[in-house]
Amino acid sequence: MAEILPKDEAELAEAVAAAAAERRGLAIRGGGTREAGRAAAEDVLSLAGLTGITLYEPGALTLVVRAGTPLAEVTAALAAEGQRLAFEPWDPRGFSGRNGVPTVGGMAAVNASGPRRIQAGACRDAMIGVRFVDGTGRVIRNGGRVMKNVTGLDLVKLMAGSHGTLGVMTEIAFKLLPCPETVASVVIDGLDIATAARAMTTAMATPYDVTGAAHLPDGPDGAPLTMLRLEGFETSVAHRAQELSAVLRHFGPTRRIEGAGHWPLVRDAGGFGGRLGAVWRISVRPTDGPLLAARLGGAELILDWAGGLVWALVPEDLDLRALMGGIGGHATLLRGAPETFARWGAFHPAPAPVAGLSAGLRARFDPAGILNPGLMDTRPSRAAVA
């Protein structure tokens, strides 16, 4: 397997066009940290040569950055201006056991959105423009660098979360938000999952602008911990922490934890690292979170998004999707043995009309089928284990 390392967008487009002509499959690689299923490819196309921030305007809350840029570089540049990517992207190294450096392109390609998703939106919501190379080697622009844009069809959203199967993103524009002056969490100890879920949905239905609502059944001290995050000016956080505690008092006594606290652990499912089993990430409606948790029995879980996001560490042979009967939503397998990916598939099966539209899009954007071949197929396939 050869590694192709273009130094700019034009070279990358040439490489894709050449691969299309020869029908050689390309595994698109950012930092090599995220692999939900693996592409059955002849060559690796690395984005490592396409790096750097091309535009940063703090006064306009706008950043444009090349796709191969390490995320840490972006985070540092934004922090220097007191700004951030509000969707709080998760770092898969916490549970994946993989080395490598997360990149902006990889993050966008999987629409990586963390705890603040419920208040500030997903990665896809912060993406305001994109340049990408389609499967024929054409460079395509969509969106731009402004906050509001309804000019034509929104292909930016389509590229977010498409795992490099519709095009290779080369440059992405993001909408930013300021970092808060104060971060604090109102926490409750010792709740069971069902009660914790009710506490979280109660908190989300207040006007106190909760930016994270998570429950760790096996918290850092081994005991259950329910956390509700507040961010803003100190006086504002103090006011809201007090009000929120009052609203939640019938769930149990609350205490205030300062700063980032255990949120990185929630964001990255860090507790699953180095442990046996398959890691799943399941999106459901918040009140279905505890229902699913009950069906998963003794599995190790993290509930984020007020119960709407369940991270599960389960035996490799568990048919997790079969337990979702009557529960809407979707489950993605993020870590597992090759045979586990082969058996369950990384991505949730789609209903026929949706699968038809998705296949149609893929055929139009990558007619030779060379971009991450086999990846994002919704049925288990040979490709998933290659």
Partner 1 sequence: MQMPEPDPDILRRKAAIVAHLEDILPRGAVISEPEEVRAYECDALTAYRCPPLAVVLPASTAEVSAVLELCHREGVPVVPRGSGTSLAGGALPTADCVLLGVARLNQVLETDYENRFIRVQTGRTNLSVTGAVEADGFFYAPDPSSQLACAIAGNIAMNSGGAHCLKYGVTTNNLLGVTLVLMDGTVVELGGAHLDAAGYDLLGVICGSEGQLGVVTEATLRILRKPEGARPVLIGFDSSEVAGACVSDIIKAGLLPVAIEFMDGPSIRACEDFARAGYPDVEALLIVEVEGSETEIDEQLARISDIARRHAPRELRESRSAAESALIWKGRKAAFGAMGQIADYICLDGVIPVSELPYVLRRITELTAEYGLGVANVFHAGDGNLHPLLLYDANAPGDLEKAEALGADILRLCVEVGGCLTGEHGVGVEKRDLMSHQYGPDDLEAQLRVKDVFDPDWLLNPAKVFPLAASESRRRRAAAPVA
Q: Contacts with partner 1 in 15-74 (CB under 8 A)?
A: 57-62
Amino acid letter, residue 330? H
Restricted to residues 227-246, the positions that interact with partner 1 (CB under 8 A) are 232-233, 235-236, 239, 243
Q: Which of 376, 383, 384, 386 binds partner 1 (CB under 8 A)?
A: 376
75 binds partner 1 (CB under 8 A): no
Q: Which of 33, 96, 142, 372 binds partner 1 (CB under 8 A)?
A: 142
Cβ proximity of 81 and 62 under 8 Å: no
What separation, in Å, do the N-terminal and C-terminal C-alpha atoms of the chain show?
A: 12
User: Nearest approach, Cβ of 178 to partner 1 (angstroms)?
Assistant: 4
Q: Which of 32, 49, 94, 121 binds partner 1 (CB under 8 A)?
A: 121
Q: Which of 46, 69, 103, 162 binds partner 1 (CB under 8 A)?
A: 162
User: Nearest approach, Cβ of 296 to partner 1 (angstroms)?
Assistant: 17
220 binds partner 1 (CB under 8 A): no
Restricted to residues 287-306, the positions that interact with partner 1 (CB under 8 A) are 287-288, 305
In sequence order, the 6+-apart residues with CB closer than 8 A to the CB of 198 are 251
Please choose, out of 97-105, 134-142, 186-194, 266-274, the segment that lies near partner 1 by the rule CB under 8 A: 134-142
By C-alpha distance, which of 94, 111, 115, 93 is closest to 102?
93
Please choose, out of 19-27, 218-226, 254-262, 285-293, the segment that lies near partner 1 by the rule CB under 8 A: 285-293
Cβ proximity of 340 and 135 under 8 Å: no
134 binds partner 1 (CB under 8 A): yes
Q: Which of 285, 316, 342, 343 binds partner 1 (CB under 8 A)?
A: 285
Nearer to partner 1, 56 or 95 (CB): 56
Q: CA–CA separation, 2 vs 45, rounded Å?
A: 9
Please choose, out of 25-33, 93-101, 221-229, 327-335, the segment that lies near partner 1 by the rule CB under 8 A: 327-335
Nearer to partner 1, 46 or 62 (CB): 62
User: Nearest approach, Cβ of 349 to partner 1 (angstroms)?
Assistant: 8
Cβ proximity of 372 and 165 under 8 Å: yes
Please choose, out of 22-30, 41-49, 67-75, 350-358, the segment that lies near partner 1 by the rule CB under 8 A: 350-358
By C-alpha distance, which of 102, 98, 91 is closest to 29?
102
Instruction: State the CB neighbour count (10 A cutoff) for residue 238.
Output: 15
Q: CA–CA separation, 61 vs 179, rounded Å?
A: 11
Nearer to partner 1, 70 or 212 (CB): 212
160 binds partner 1 (CB under 8 A): yes
269 binds partner 1 (CB under 8 A): no
Please choose, out of 65-73, 120-128, 295-303, 333-341, the segment that lies near partner 1 by the rule CB under 8 A: 120-128
Nearer to partner 1, 88 or 134 (CB): 134
344 binds partner 1 (CB under 8 A): no
Restricted to residues 172-191, the positions that interact with partner 1 (CB under 8 A) are 177-181
Q: Which of 38, 256, 295, 330 binds partner 1 (CB under 8 A)?
A: 330
